[in-house]
Amino acid sequence: MAYRHSAARIDRDQELRERILESALLLVVEGGFAALTMTTLAERVGIATGSLYRHFRGKGELAAEVFARASQREVDAMAAALNLPGSEPARMAGALQQFAARAWQSRRLAFALIAEPVDPEVDERRLEFREAYAAHLSTVIEQGVQSGTFRTSSVAVSAACLVGAISEALVGPLSPQARAAREAGQPTQQLADVSAALVSFCLRALAAEESSL
């Protein structure tokens, strides 16, 4: 019975860990990493703060795990869009539009993932995930170079430039400053405009005429 007991305990631990991570993600969706504190999270989950520390050594480790899970969903979504049927420019455009639209749907989370100032553990993961995005983009750039729709002297540099362009184009419109302006009724950038300008910039950079869509 000792074995069964401990297996059941591992299951319960695993289930609680999942609940903690889901609640943590919701806090970040609502208020960014700034809203993710060990005390608030313990209250949300309905456990003692001490129990939380049995699962995560601290805010940095927890934030890094939430970041990695949420980012993996975005990487997967981009990879899926890049792999749809169509020409390379069309697939690239579709993937960028989808990325921008998903960010717009959950702006606080998107800003938190891309640029919110937070523990260095999250910065570490940001560097890793930027490489993951770059790898998927590289594949499509290479395919485009082979089919003659894209042109570049360095697939690696172009892929890195795309990753930077995509995230930086969204940082401003997703920022707390933009949210404050919107809430004050001031004019702010619209998704359609930012998305269209981003797609133009990236396709031209890859030497694909937009008419080739």
**Among the listed residues 78, 37, 47, the one whose alpha carbon sits nearest the alpha carbon of residue 166:** 78
CA 96 to chain centre: 13
**Among the listed residues 73, 82, 135, 59, the one whose alpha carbon sits nearest the alpha carbon of residue 105:** 73
Contact residue for a second copy among 20, 70, 103, 198 (CB under 8 A): 198
**Among the listed residues 90, 92, 25, the one whose alpha carbon sits nearest the alpha carbon of residue 64:** 25
Q: Using the rule CB under 8 A, is 160 a contact of a second copy? A: yes
Q: How far apart are CA 118 and CA 96, in angstroms?
A: 26
Q: How far is the CB of 8 from a second copy (least distance, A)?
A: 39
Residues 107-126 that bind a second copy (CB under 8 A): 115-124, 126
Q: Using the rule CB under 8 A, is 47 a contact of a second copy? A: no
CA distances from 26 to 20, 21, 134, 135 (A): 10, 9, 27, 29
Q: Using the rule CB under 8 A, is 92 a contact of a second copy? A: no
Compute how many residues bind a second copy; rule: CB under 8 A.
46
Site string for a second copy, 140-159 (x = CB under 8 A): ------------xxx-xxx-
Q: How far is the CB of 89 from a second copy (least distance, A)?
A: 13
* Residue ranges in contact with a second copy by CB under 8 A: 115-124, 126-127, 130-131, 152-154, 156-158, 160-169, 171-172, 175, 189, 193-194, 196-198, 200-202, 204-207
